[in-house]
Amino acid sequence: MLIPLILSGGAGTRLWPVSRQGHPKPFMQLTDGQSLLLKTYLRAAAVAQGGQILTATNRDYFFMSKDELTKARVGDVECRNTFLLEPFGRNTAAAIIMSAFMVAEQFDRDACLLVLPADHLVQRQEAFAEAVQNAEILARQGRLVTFGIVPSMPETGFGYIEAGPNIPPGRSVLRFVEKPDVETAQKYVSSGNFYWNSGMFCFLAGTVLNEFALHAPDIFQTAQACWQELRHTTKADANMLEIPAKHFEQFPDISVDYALLERSANIAVLPADIGWSDIGSWSAVSQLIKADADNNRGIGECLFVDSHNIFAQSEERLIATVGVDDLIIVDTADALLIVPPDKAQDVKKVVTLLKKQNHDAYKLHRTVFRPWGSYTVLEEGPRFKIKRIEVKPGASLSLQMHHHRSEHWIVVNGMAKVTNGDQELLVGANESTYIPAGCSHRLENPGILNLVMIEVQSGEYLGEDDIVRLSDKYGRCQ
């Protein structure tokens, strides 16, 4: 039994302004419209062969993640997914040991866990499946297996694994090394004994628990106590396990590499040439796009005049460059980034600065996702705000009331069921209704198509915090 464990964390600050706290890197869509999370899930499903998948993520991303996974289409392998929800980020050691406890108890201590970061890309699915098969062979020998990517260039942004004698179908691990300088990296690559540390792992649940108990007993005990609490409050068939914060905060913020792999003698590396990319920066993203004759790459509407080596990505705007070379241009509804490829790592500085200024653009997009769907602020002005609201089929917003604003709703697509005080009415496309301030109301989508609505708010105060939630099916009344 092979159980993929998808680790869906990682802020991806180097991919700002597309990746932000409210919509982080795993949700970033590539040009085929699939998010990195969905791609990881499909990759996992293909090797889990209809079995079980675990997805560990922050509970803030539960609804968005669920939505992503439902985008797997007919024809994709169907698996059962269980979410392991973390109250806050605690790096990989905590997520992995909690998953191992869960798998050992609810499935099998001999089940093989395949750890997959949700924000990487693997472009060679067959080679990946073969690598997973080989890793499982080593894992079933009781080893902690790490996937070592065969390096294609002297990359200085990754850690490396030095491999020793063969342990067919893999190799032993001599040591893990930190990000090298470029000369060292060059030596590593030409030696043939060094691999990129991919953050993908494979081991039996029982093995990893034993190894944690041996090499990181504090983490083991924290996890044991946490699991005891969790198992009593969760049904075995639940598709969501929410880790209690009071236990989870006991975990050190540490990666499985540091906490365990670098201490264990029981490690193997499985060399893998699987078309892997960590999509770690806009430079990496740009490499996924085919270049034109001037080595320019454009997503969206771009006009390159006397320009070379440009990567430009636009959501709606026309981007025109004149006489410039070597630039990355990323345009979103509310923020624009311009950076040369060789400085792409420094984009995180922008996020740090924005966070310091408490600027919305480090965490929120113009479009904000909610359990029931999403809203986009189209325009704000004195005494009015205009939103586009999209409600998923069957979803409903909370029964709510605003003290200071009234709302005009115009349905442009689908059908809305509107509770307005004591009244209930259906509002179809091209119809409208009006919610006065102080009136309790609820918006539902009773249909099977997405409901798209324009809301024009008007009033003296239009802050999102002028909301009294009277009843909410997503538990947001407390």
Provide the minimum distance between the beta carbon of 374 and its own copies in the complex, in angstroms, as a whole number. Answer: 14
**With binding defined as CB under 8 A, does residue 338 bind its own copies?**
yes
Under the binding rule (CB under 8 A), the answer on residue 295 touching its own copies is no
Site string for its own copies, 59-78 (x = CB under 8 A): --------------------
Q: Which stretch binds its own copies (CB under 8 A): 54-62, 203-211, 338-346, 442-450?
A: 338-346
Half-sphere exposure of 448 (CA within 13 A, CB side): 0
* Nearest-angstrom CA–CA distance, 9 and 24: 8
Shorter beta-carbon distance to its own copies: residue 2 or 310: 310
The CA-atom distances, in angstroms, between 53 and each of 46, 80, 84, 113, 297 are 11, 6, 11, 9, 36
93 contacts 252 by C-beta, under 8 angstroms: yes
Ranges within 390-419 binding its own copies (CB under 8 A)? 406, 408, 410, 412-413
List the one residue from 103, 132, 269, 337 that touches its own copies (CB under 8 A): 337
Distance in angstroms (rounded) separating the CA atoms of residues 459 and 339 = 41
- Quote the least distance from Cβ 178 to its own copies, whole Å: 24
Among 225, 245, 353, 470, binds its own copies (CB under 8 A): 353
Q: By C-beta, is 57 or 433 nearer to its own copies?
A: 433
Distance between start and end Cα atoms, the chain: 41
**Piece of 105-113, 184-192, 266-274, 330-338 that binds its own copies (CB under 8 A):** 330-338
| 437 CB neighbour count, 10 Å cutoff | 17
Least spacing, CB of residue 327 vs its own copies, in Å: 7
383 binds its own copies (CB under 8 A): yes
Secondary structure (DSSP) of 395-416: -BPPEEE-SSEEEEEEEEESEE
Q: Which two tokens stand for residue 168?
A: 């067919």
Kindly indicate which of the ranges 77-85, 220-228, 320-328, 439-447 contains the residues binding its own copies, using the contact rule CB under 8 A: 320-328
Taking CB under 8 A as the criterion, the residue among 183, 249, 294, 306 binding its own copies is 306
CA 349 – CA 156 distance, rounded (Å): 19
Mark the segment that binds its own copies (CB under 8 A) among 92-100, 190-198, 284-292, 426-434: 426-434
Part of the chain binding its own copies (CB under 8 A), chosen from 47-55, 171-179, 218-226, 298-306: 298-306
Contact criterion met (CB below 8 Å) for 13 and 20: no
Q: What is the DSSP string of 203-251?
A: EEHHHHHHHHHHH-HHHHHHHHHHHHHHHHHS-TT-SEEE--HHHHTTS
Distance CA 435, CA 426 (A): 14
Q: Does 298 bind its own copies (CB under 8 A)?
A: no
CB nearer to its own copies: give 96 or 339: 339
Nearer to its own copies, 55 or 313 (CB): 313
Instruction: Indicate whether 316 belongs to the interface with its own copies (CB under 8 A).
Output: yes
What crossing angle do the helices spanning 205-215 and 91-106 adopt, rounded to 10°? Answer: 130
Q: What is the chain's length?
A: 478
Strand partners, 53: 81
Nearer to its own copies among residue 251 and residue 311 (C-beta): 311
Integer angstrom CA distances of residue 328 from 299, 307, 312, 352: 12, 12, 6, 20
The residue among 16 and 276 lying less far from its own copies, judged by its C-beta, is 16
Residues that bind its own copies (CB under 8 A): 16-17, 303, 305-306, 314, 316-324, 327, 329, 331, 333-340, 342-343, 346-347, 349-350, 353-354, 359, 361, 378-379, 381-384, 386, 388, 406, 408, 410, 412-413, 429-430, 432, 434, 452, 454, 456, 458-459
